Amino acid sequence: MNKHNDLDTVLAASAAIETAETVQAPAPPVVDLSDKSYYIHRELSQLQFNNRVLEQALDERTPLLERLKFLLIFSSNMDEFFEIRAAGLKSQLEFGHEIVGPDGIPPKQALAEISEIAHRQIARQYSILNERLLPELDRHGIRIVRRESWSSAQKRWVQRYFRQEVAPMMTPIGLDPTHPFPLLVNKSLNFIVELEGVDAFGRDSGLAILPAPRVLPRIIRLPEEVCEGGENHVLLSSIIHAHAEELFPGMEVRGCYQFRLTRNADLTIDPEEMDDLARALRGELSSRRFGDAVRLEVADNCPKTLTDYLLKQFGLSEAELYEVNGPVNLTRLFGIVSRSHNPQLLYPPFVPAIPKALKKAEDMFQVISKQDVLLMHPYESFAPVVDLVRQAAKDPAVLTIEQTLYRTGATSEIVDALVEAARAGKEVIAVVELRARFDEESNLSLATRLQQAGAVVIYGVVDVKTHAKLMLIQRREGEKLQRYAHLGTGNYHSGNARLYTDYSLLTSDAALCEDVHKLFSQLTGMGKLLKMKKVLHAPFTLKKSLLDMIAQETAHAEAGKPAYMIIKVNALTDAKMIRAFYKASIAGVKIDLLVRGTCCLRPGIPGVSQNIRVRSIVGRFLEHSRVYWFANDGDERMYLASADLMERNLDRRVETGFPIEDRKLRQRIRKELDVYLSDNTTAWELQPDGNYARLHPTDAHSPHDVQQQLLEKYCGAGAAAAR
């Protein structure tokens, strides 16, 4: 064998060994992304968010009345949770149609866990109120005066108030065979009264129900002349307790106990039996007040015999009973905040900024025709959006205004401008989503008002809510028709724009405006899907495009390139999106998720989600903006959107995601995302076990509060004074 043959033999052997090693090399472990332990139950995650809101009531850096507001917001959130989320699970059991999500928890188990957590949270809420907030309010001269503490003058005033204002409105209902237990309105304040004696008709059932009139305030501020320093308030429930016997003359009141019933408040409209959505919705609204019972709240001094009696009347179990140490209708305490004369106990006021380009602009169209304008609410004013509609209403060159309205209010400035435009003979097309939960009645009212002014009102698409935030103005400029658009992440509601963080884009970009026009055409008319150039829209292209962008980032990581994405939304529940994030994490993509509320993804699982960090910001403003950012190997992509990453948003709603293509605007938003990610004061980080840990400054890191920093940046240091 010559040398060449020897070399060939060695090379062949080496190749064989290398091939064998390649074949025998262990493949990376395959991760089963259907593993139930990788997912958090949606309703249990929602309770975690409610708990984060409650925790704000204990944050001593927050002004005292704002802390009270957080406690009351928690109460309002829990009301809606039981009315919608818990009620939905209960309905699944009653109708034998159980839906089990990727977390694998069946409705019955979920309800049991909800009961355990909610009882613990609500008991803590009343403890915070009674042991922390009320004593602190008292030290600042704001008091809820209890019956046993009324002075003689206060007793006389309360008695007059009861006889003049309360008693004439009360309708006691004695319980006997001819007076069965009344049908009580959802979340109304009621009293169960134990009586002794025989009435004029010889009845002695021993029980009566007292519904508190809904027209009366639940908390009443005492006049100065009977106050004993500061602001004195009394509860309507205390007034009724103190004088219940006057409502049952000749009878002895042995006990009077407040209670409140929460009912299923979701609306169900069968599209197959509906030919007029507005009429069908009007019919359903009244039923919301009398849906199936889901929760009973009673005063904790109510005897067990009576609570058992009430539970039996409502068909509820012990697990659905909540015995509370205080008023059963806490949200009505907002009256203390609204009527207080203690501004030092509230957040300092601020004046939202106006962008430099619009400060001295008399012609909005002229500015927007030259450049895109980005607004970040509430730090920047919502007024330019309102001004644009107002100018369009008065401008004779404007021909049409098209707008989606989801949560707006019938008396809003936006609606006023649309009414003015319609009366001026302009073509006004309003896509009003009647089914915006708990705003249905208001939306019916604004739809009627617009129709009466001559606007064309469309109610969107049956079974697909119109949640996109869009406005399109068409204006005759010389020989051409010029379009202007507003696209936003929030609602056309000036009040919310002072409380919610959202982005607004004002643009005359031809392709974007054409896409908005196409979307309105799809909503108002009929036809095949129209292809968009720039806008991603649900339920057609938004979800697929997002999954494609996540997959692209995953491919970059697999190719050894740096890969990173930041997603800011209100909620993340869609299983396909979660699996896509897990795959990206496994490939090595760094992922920062800013999820204010419900999050079903479980971060920090070794080998699955160790590259994912989930943060929730809970502060002065409700974080509402949605941003999708992808590094994309240096060619970054950024979209602002109306959609959260939920099945309902991505699969069953009309939503939009619109690109930010201007480099300066994109850099600005990207820097703002970094400020969110550096927050160590109002941020909470989701742990692998599904709980959240509050972040705190350390010796090595100074405090960073994103909302304070943005207030200082846009509105000046005075607006973000020490909390």
Q: What is the pLDDT of residue 11?
A: 40
Please tell me whether residues 616 and 520 are part of one structural domain: no
Compare 135 and 526 and report the one with higher pLDDT: 135
| End-of-domain residue from the set 345, 376, 392 | 345
pLDDT of 14 above 60: no
Average pLDDT over residues 149-165: 96
Give the integer Cα–Cα distance in Å for 489 and 86: 28
Res 20: pLDDT = 42
Which CATH number is 112's domain given? 3.30.1840.10
Q: pTM here?
A: 0.90
476 is in an annotated binding site: no
Q: Which of 477, 499, 531 is the last residue of a domain?
A: 531
pLDDT per position as a tens digit, 688-710: 999 999 999 987 788 999 999 99
Stretch 218-232: mean pLDDT = 92
Q: Is the pLDDT of residue 460 over 80?
A: no
Is 16 within the bounds of a domain? Answer: no
pLDDT higher at 332 or 573: 573
Catalytic residue among 467, 493, 517, 704: 467
Burial of 140 (0-12, 13-18, 19+ CB in 10 A): middle
**Which pLDDT score is estimated for 438?**
55
Establish whether 467 is a catalytic residue: yes
Per-residue exposure over 75-101, b if at least 16 CB sit within 10 Å of its own CB, e if not = bebbbbbbbbbbbebbbbeeeeeeeeb
pLDDT of 4 reads 46
What is the structure's pLDDT at 22?
Answer: 40
Q: Is residue 12 part of a domain?
A: no
Instruction: Give the pLDDT score at 200.
Output: 65
pLDDT band per the 50, 70, 90 thresholds, residue 535: very high
Q: What is the pLDDT of residues 603-647, one digit of tens each?
A: 999 999 999 999 999 999 999 999 999 999 999 999 999 999 999
Question: In sequence order, which residues have a C-beta less than 8 Å from that of residue 287 and are 6 or more positions away?
Answer: 267
pLDDT bucket at 267, cuts 50 / 70 / 90 = low
Average pLDDT of span 446-461: 86
- Tell me what pLDDT residue 40 has: 98
pLDDT interval class at 409 (50, 70, 90):
low
Please report where in the chains the tokens 């070794």 appear, as a residue: 606
Same domain, 419 and 500: yes
Same domain assignment for residues 462 and 595 = no
Is the torsion defined by CA of 275, 278, 283, 289 positive or negative? Answer: positive
Q: Is 624 annotated as a binding residue?
A: yes
- For residue 224, is it within any domain? yes
407 labeled part of a ligand binding site: yes
DSSP string of 163-191, one letter each residue: IIIIGGG---EE-BTTBPPP-PPTT-EEE
Residue at which a domain ends, from 345, 378, 394:
345
pLDDT reported for residue 408:
76
On whether both 197 and 291 belong to a single domain, the answer is: yes
Q: What is the pLDDT of residue 448?
A: 84
Instruction: Please tell me the predicted confidence (pLDDT) of residue 121.
Output: 98
Q: How confident is the model at residue 23 (pLDDT cuts 50, 70, 90)?
A: very low
Would you say the C-alpha torsion 142, 143, 144, 145 has a positive or negative sign? Answer: negative
- What is the DSSP secondary structure assignment for residue 318, as one 8-state letter? G
For residues 660-673, average pLDDT:
97
Average pLDDT of the segment spanning 285-301: 80
Residue 52 forms part of a structural domain: yes
pLDDT bracket for residue 716 (50, 70, 90): confident
Average per-residue pLDDT for the chain: 90
Measured CA to CA in angstroms, residue 248 lies from 155, 305, 402, 473, 602 at distances of: 20, 22, 59, 64, 57
Name the range with the highest mean pLDDT among 26-35, 93-102, 238-247: 238-247
Lowest mean pLDDT among 283-287, 296-300, 579-583: 283-287
Contact criterion met (CB below 8 Å) for 286 and 325: no
Give the CATH number for residue 470.
3.30.870.10
Q: Are residues 582 and 709 in the same domain?
A: yes
pLDDT at 260: 97
- In terms of pLDDT, which residue wins out, 315 or 7? 315
Q: State yes or no: pLDDT of 356 exceeds 80.
A: yes
409 shares a domain with 291: no
For residue 655, being part of any structural domain is answered with yes
Handedness of CA 312, 316, 320, 324 (dihedral sign): negative
Residue 1 counted as domain residue: no
* Model confidence pLDDT, tens digit, residues 161-207: 999 999 999 999 988 766 788 989 999 999 999 998 877 666 667 89
- pLDDT one-digit tens code per residue, 461-501: 777 888 999 999 999 999 999 999 999 999 888 888 999 99
Report how far residue 45's alpha carbon sits from residue 480's, in angstroms, rounded to the nearest whole number.
52
Which is more confident, 435 or 243? 243
Q: Is 322 annotated as a binding residue?
A: no
Do residues 406 and 433 lie in contact, with contact meaning Cβ atoms separated by under 8 Å? yes
* Range of the structural domain that residue 61 is part of: 42-345
Domain co-membership, 257 together with 215: yes
> Which has the closest alpha carbon to 443: 485, 479, 493?
493
Whether the per-residue pLDDT at 106 is higher than 60: the answer is: yes
